[in-house]
Amino acid sequence: MLKTRPINDSVDGISYEATVATMTSIESSRHGKATGTEVSQAASSLSDTRIDRELQQSQELQQLQRLQELQRLQKLQQSQELQQSQELQELQRLQKLQQSQQLQMLQELQRLQESPVSQQSLRWRQWQLSPGWLQSQHVSYVQLRSQVSQQLLESRQSQQSPESLQSQDSQEQHWC
Is 104 exposed, middle or buried, given 0-12, 13-18 or 19+ CB atoms closer than 10 A? exposed
Q: How far apart are CA 86 and CA 60, in angstroms?
A: 39
Q: What is the pLDDT of residue 21?
A: 44
> 172 and 149 in contact (C-beta within 8 Å)?
no
Q: What is the pLDDT of residue 98?
A: 87
Q: What is the pLDDT of residue 72?
A: 93
pTM flag (> 0.85) = no
SS (H, E, C) 8-19: ECCCCCCEEEEE
The parts of the chain modelled with pLDDT lower than 70 are 1-36, 38-40, 42-43, 113, 115-144, 159-176
